[in-house]
């Protein structure tokens, strides 16, 4: 006797036909862009200039007024924050930003806590699924205790790799940009080797030529083991030219259909 086990919910012919009609081609432009961008394209294509300008004026009027109301509370908040975090966010309206995220239903309010308290690069991180980004689970490969132990063992190796890139322009730019970050309060230093505890991870920084001869600063957190001490559950996807082309196509289609009785397709 042969037994067959079936799983799932089966459709009748009519249901299957309805689902087929609802299906969207996997390369459809609307699948390539974020929902909020799609809604904005629909709004601007279906609204006249006055309505668009009015919506923008209303937005700035609302939040500019709220920013003035929160000025004193913003100052009080900065006074209670860590010195370096407060300096790094000195020009940021954190409470206003938090209210805006809540008002528009942003799903990951934890970003506000990171701005107020600072964020860790390694260690026990409270990982939560936000549902905003594609799922990509990468567990941490070591604990914070193991990272500190490893740091002491590879300190000499990391320090021995420190040297010139071979290009004076890259070296000078990397150094001057690093000192600029010190002035902004983002970094502390320069420090000698003896001033840094042997169990503190040290990551190499070097310059890399980007487009138009711009020098980008690269911190090698892989070599120091810091990256291996962090786990993630989601991964951002960079918008490519496909997003721009899809948005442009939808915009042109939306503008064309506004003059027809059928409306937005």
* pLDDT tens track for 11-69: 788 888 888 888 877 777 777 788 888 888 888 888 888 999 999 999 999 999 999 99
Inter-residue contact 92 to 70 (CB < 8 Å): no
**CA-based Rg of the chain, rounded to a whole angstrom?**
26
Task: Give percent helix, percent strand, percent coil of the chain, each to the nearest 5.
Answer: 55, 5, 40
- In sign, the C-alpha dihedral spanning 63, 66, 71, 76 is negative
Whether the pLDDT of residue 123 is over 80: the answer is no
pLDDT band at 263 (very low <50, low <70, confident <90, very high): very low
**Mean of pLDDT values over 235-257:** 83
pLDDT at 110: 84
pLDDT at 233: 81
CA distance 193 to 198: 9
CA distance 263 to 265: 6
CA distance 159 to 154: 9
CA distance 30 to 254: 12
| Residues forming a β-bridge with 208 | 216
Summarised one tens digit per residue, pLDDT across range 124-153 is 555 567 777 778 888 888 888 888 888 888
Whole-model pTM above 0.85?
no
CA distance 200 to 155: 9
Whether the pLDDT of residue 262 is over 50: the answer is no
pLDDT at 81: 93
Which range has the top average pLDDT, 102-111, 134-143, 248-257? 102-111
Q: How many CA atoms lie within 13 A of 15 on its CB side?
A: 4
Percent of residues, the chain, with pLDDT higher than 90: 22
Whether the pLDDT of residue 265 is over 50: the answer is no
Q: Which residue has the higher pLDDT, 96 or 17?
A: 96
pLDDT at 116: 92
Q: Which of 32, 49, 39, 75 is nearest to 249 (CA)?
A: 32
């Amino acid at each position: 006797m042969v037994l067959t086990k079936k799983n799932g919910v089966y459709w009748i012919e009519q249901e299957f036909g309805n689902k087929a009609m609802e299906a969207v081609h996997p390369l459809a432009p609307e699948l390539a862009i974020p929902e909020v961008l799609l809604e904005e394209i629909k709004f601007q294509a279906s609204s006249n200039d006055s309505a668009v300008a009015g919506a923008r004026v209303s937005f700035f009027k609302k939040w500019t007024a709220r920013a003035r109301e929160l000025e004193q509370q913003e100052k009080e908040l900065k006074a209670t924050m860590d010195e370096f975090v407060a300096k790094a966010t000195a020009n940021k309206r954190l409470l206003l930003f938090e209210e805006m995220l809540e008002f528009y239903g942003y799903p990951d309010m934890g970003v506000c806590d990171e701005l107020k308290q600072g964020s860790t690069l390694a260690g026990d991180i409270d990982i939560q699924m936000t549902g905003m980004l594609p799922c990509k689970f990468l567990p941490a490969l070591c604990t914070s205790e193991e990272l500190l132990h490893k740091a002491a063992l590879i300190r000499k190796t990391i320090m021995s790799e420190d040297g010139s890139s071979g290009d004076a322009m890259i070296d000078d730019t990397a150094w001057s940009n690093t000192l600029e970050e010190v002035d902004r309060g983002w970094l502390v230093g320069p420090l000698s080797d003896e001033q840094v505890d042997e169990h503190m991870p040290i990551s190499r920084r070097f310059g890399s030529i980007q487009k138009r001869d711009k020098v980008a600063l690269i911190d090698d957190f892989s070599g120091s083991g810091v990256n291996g001490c962090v786990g993630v559950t989601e991964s951002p996807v960079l918008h490519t030219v496909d997003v721009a082309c899809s948005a442009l196509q939808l915009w042109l289609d939306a503008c064309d259909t506004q003059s027809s009785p059928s409306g937005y397709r």
